[in-house]
Structure 1
Amino acid sequence: METSLISPDNTWALWAFLTGWAAASIYLEQKYAWASKMSGAIIALIGAMLLANFNVIPLESSVYDAVWNYVVPLAIPLLLFQANIKKIWQESGRMLTIFLLSAIGTVAGTIVSFSLLKDVIPHLDKLGAMMAGSYTGGSVNLAAMASKFEAPGELVSALVVADNAMMALFFFVLMAIPAIGFFRRRYQTPHVEEVEAKTADNEGETQAASFWQRKEMSLKDIAASVATAFVLVAVSFHLADFFARIVPTGANTNIFFQLLGGIIGDQYLVLTTLTVLVVVAFPNYFENIRGTQEIGTFLIYIFFVVIGVPASLALVVTTAPLLLVFTLIIVVFNLLFSLVLGKLFKFNLEEVVLASNANLGGPTTAAAMAIAKGWNKLIVPILLVGTLGYIIGNYIGTGLGMWFQTVM
């Protein structure tokens, strides 16, 4: 096995890379027009992907795990502190509808992909269940379906690699769509236009630089932001773990308890819900904290760097080319269904691409896209709707997996 220039256990060097490249991506986005159009999020992702595939940084490390386990959970409440809570349900209702319509694309794509490849890919009934769950909810659903259907470990590993590579390319496409004239002419884009309007008077600056202008921030603001985020994560995760232990689980469990456990036992759903409730209960406290969006967004950029790292294109090509085709078909169907049904039911382009992102990448990547694009009004709705996808994903994955087993 090839070794990377920076070893997986070189913790400080890897943290220096993650934070340094995230900072460099933000700088480029705010400094140069080409980078602003491309977005710092994509720069962060592609840079990490290239360095990982050229063996500069490792494909796996406990440092990357720390980003998923600590950095991402901290970013979520920070980005919800300034949310316009009064519009949550109005906005979330629209997002939930397009999210469910987008999920139809995942189901259709999985069925078509399974039908085409079931004779050439072993255990595709199990892998189909995993990807149906994952491309409705997220990686937690993939893990749950892999355990439920007892998929072979080597195939699971190859599928995860193919999935990561496909998602890296997919995020690039989704980030680019709102800037393409073909789509702008055919869909309403109120959130894009709002961001552009805010930057119209700042001709010497890029859109990103104008949006993220320097703001007053004190030591007290930083302390309150970070400490409150830590408290909310700690309380939420402990509550979710507690509920997960006391709610009955298992194959023979009543569907009500399965649904209840999926809701109150999910860490991210509890974290999102608790944060929203606390912000509603103490609006003055949160409205007076400065810098939460800036700190949270920087943490999300670190997350974007980590997304690009595991996408080992060489490993996909050598070990799982058919799995790459398998995931590609599902992704294409989801995106096509999202765009067509979104147009048919008159959804905004921003809502369509975020719903597709939430299905295929999960709520965190969808929220990260909304943040990177400056669509602040959609951050809370897509987080709420995308997190509920974790629950829906297990049922869709289970249903398709059981059906696929009967035709293998």
Structure 2
Amino acid sequence: MTSSPLATAFPLSVKLPSLSQTISQSKPQLSTCPLLKHLSLGFSSSRNNNLSYNFNRCVVLARFNNNNLNINSPLISPDDDWATWTALFATGAFGLWSERTKIGRMISAALVSILLGLAASNMGIIPHEARAYSVVMEFLLPLTIPLMLFRADMRNVIKSTGKLLLAFLIGSVATMIGTLVAYLIVPMRSLGQDSWKIASALMASYIGGAINYVAVSDALAVSPSVIAAGVAADNVICAIYFMALFALGSKLPAEASPSTKGPANNWDSASGDNAPVLQTATALAVSFAICKGATHVVRLLKYQGGTLPAITAVVVILATLLPRQIGYLAPAGDVISAISIQVFFAVLGASGSIWNVINVAPSIFVFAFIQVTVHLIVVLGLGKLLRLDLKLLLLASNANIGGPTTASGMATAKGWGSLVVPGILVGIFGISIATYIAYFFGIYVLKGM
């Protein structure tokens, strides 16, 4: 892990206490860490009064130099839960609102929330660590996964997408090739163990989308500053890439009679704007149940870092076996997940260091640029050999790099009405498989390079 002039980060794992747990009387008081005061910690003493911890969730604690920005006493205390949660949700809401502006649409709500959280914590407005952040990572993030995947009926994907699914699979292979080439050219050795991990996370993002980037980063325990730098680089790359796709498709004609009506077209939020209370309550209950079942299986199998991949597998299986019942919950799931994922991005920014982002982002940017460039070359090359239509290749590549939302947006903007729903479905398919592909590719291929 790299260090910056501003902070040195220590990855610790924290476990939320249950009602039956009591705090050991022999535990020392860690007054410099407000978060640890409220958590039940298992520890053993070691030389030089260091502590060795063994927990199940990574949280970054920052130790700052006296000559730099003082965040020991931020404006919002780490112990002030109400104020912390207010700041997080306000940041997420501002991120969503920003997409109504020209600049916000260019850089995305996710990056706005990250940058706002990053600025607020480094300016001493909100804390770098707090109990709320642990709750977001431990509970809110896993809860968001099922809410985003209630439409992930794999039978419907295969049945409805036709050659677009083939083009999407070509794009997925192209991303894997692009990752290998980029890692050979830009190994990012300055990041240490985070190098192959962030490469895997970006690979997940360019097969499925942002939620896969988050899932792989969480499973591989990437440091928050590197995650934030990766998101910053990724958003710039995506903006450039989408402009390139539209330029390549500028001469492709629109369909004569576009038909964009369909329940899946409202992936963003419109379909869920008036989601009934019962539907919303049921969506939350089902999501909690899925998280409970998946985490129980992970504990039984002792599969470290497998929580989010396991949750993804369970919801995809349920959505495929019970498409009508689970799909009914999708509109409500879209609304809740849109909010909760923004809160996660706010926490991600708040946990990071501005200097680390500045120092780390350039190398990740170059890596991602090579990654998507090779992806596009391979997609267009293999697609031409297989005689696939250019619009299918461009839309599939869009679904790879940006996910279902950007794919449906491109199909609508270009007047390819018959491809709007298939574009969304292949995007959902990508979300369903990307975490597993990137996770194992990172461990068994990139890690040993």
TM bracket (short chain): 0.5 to 0.7
Pairing of 1:314-329 with structure 2 (within 5 A): 314-315=355-356, 321=359, 324-329=361-366
> How many residue pairs end up in the alignment?
340
Q: Shift of the alpha carbon at 1:134?
A: 4.7
Higher relative contact order (CA 8 A, sep 6+): 1
Inter-partner Cα distance in structure 2 for 1:238 and 1:131 = 27
Code of the aligned partner of 2:88: L
Whether the aligned pair in 1 keeps the contact of 2:404 and 2:425 (CA below 8 Å) is no
Whether the aligned pair in 2 keeps the contact of 1:29 and 1:40 (CA below 8 Å) is yes
Greater shift in the superposed pair: 267-276 or 210-219: 210-219
Residue 343 of structure 1: aligned partner:
380
Q: Where does structure 1 lack aligned partners over 5 or more consecutive residues?
A: 147-155, 200-206, 246-261, 358-365, 401-408
Residue 184 of structure 1: aligned partner:
246
Pairing of 1:28-177 with structure 2 (within 5 A): 28-30=98-100, 32=101, 35-36=104-105, 38-89=107-158, 94-114=167-187, 128-136=195-203, 161-175=225-239, 177=241
Q: Shift of the alpha carbon at 1:225?
A: 0.9
Residue 93 of structure 2: aligned partner:
23
- The reply to whether residue 301 of structure 1 matches residue 371 of structure 2 is no
Q: Shift of the alpha carbon at 1:376?
A: 3.7
3-state SS in 2 of match to 1:185 = helix
Flag the structure with higher helix content.
Answer: 1
Residue 9 of structure 2: aligned partner:
none
- The reply to whether residue 352 of structure 1 matches residue 397 of structure 2 is yes
TM-score, structure 1 as length reference: 0.67
Inter-partner Cα distance in structure 1 for 2:271 and 2:320 = 27
Greater shift in the superposed pair: 126-135 or 100-109: 126-135
Whether the aligned pair in 2 keeps the contact of 1:168 and 1:308 (CA below 8 Å) is no
Inter-partner Cα distance in structure 2 for 1:384 and 1:298 = 20
Whether the aligned pair in 2 keeps the contact of 1:83 and 1:380 (CA below 8 Å) is yes
Query: Do the aligned partners of residues 298 and 330 (structure 1) sit closer, same or farther apart at CA in structure 2, a change above 3 Å counting?
Result: same
- The reply to whether residue 223 of structure 1 matches residue 281 of structure 2 is yes
Inter-partner Cα distance in structure 2 for 1:371 and 1:84 = 17
3-state SS in 2 of match to 1:7 = coil
Query: Do the aligned partners of residues 310 and 354 (structure 1) sit closer, same or farther apart at CA in structure 2, a change above 3 Å counting?
Result: farther
Q: Shift of the alpha carbon at 1:86?
A: 2.9
Q: Shift of the alpha carbon at 1:61?
A: 3.5
What is the aligned counterpart of 2:433 among 385, 392, 396? 385
Query: Do the aligned partners of residues 277 and 37 (structure 1) sit closer, same or farther apart at CA in structure 2, a change above 3 Å counting?
Result: same
Inter-partner Cα distance in structure 2 for 1:211 and 1:227 = 20
Code of the aligned partner of 2:97: Y
Code of the aligned partner of 2:275: M
TM-score, structure 2 as length reference: 0.62
C-alpha deviations, 1:249-283, integer Å up to 9, x for none? xxxxxxxxxxxxx9xx8333332222122223333
Whether the aligned pair in 2 keeps the contact of 1:168 and 1:311 (CA below 8 Å) is no
What is the aligned counterpart of 1:274 among 293, 314, 323? 314
Q: Shift of the alpha carbon at 1:38?
A: 4.9
Whether the aligned pair in 2 keeps the contact of 1:370 and 1:376 (CA below 8 Å) is yes
Residue 417 of structure 2: aligned partner:
none
Whether the aligned pair in 2 keeps the contact of 1:145 and 1:397 (CA below 8 Å) is no
Q: Shift of the alpha carbon at 1:284?
A: 3.3
Whether the aligned pair in 1 keeps the contact of 2:182 and 2:367 (CA below 8 Å) is yes
Inter-partner Cα distance in structure 1 for 2:379 and 2:90 = 38
Whether the aligned pair in 2 keeps the contact of 1:129 and 1:145 (CA below 8 Å) is no
Q: Shift of the alpha carbon at 1:211?
A: 5.8
- Max Rg structure: 2
Q: Shift of the alpha carbon at 1:387?
A: 1.2
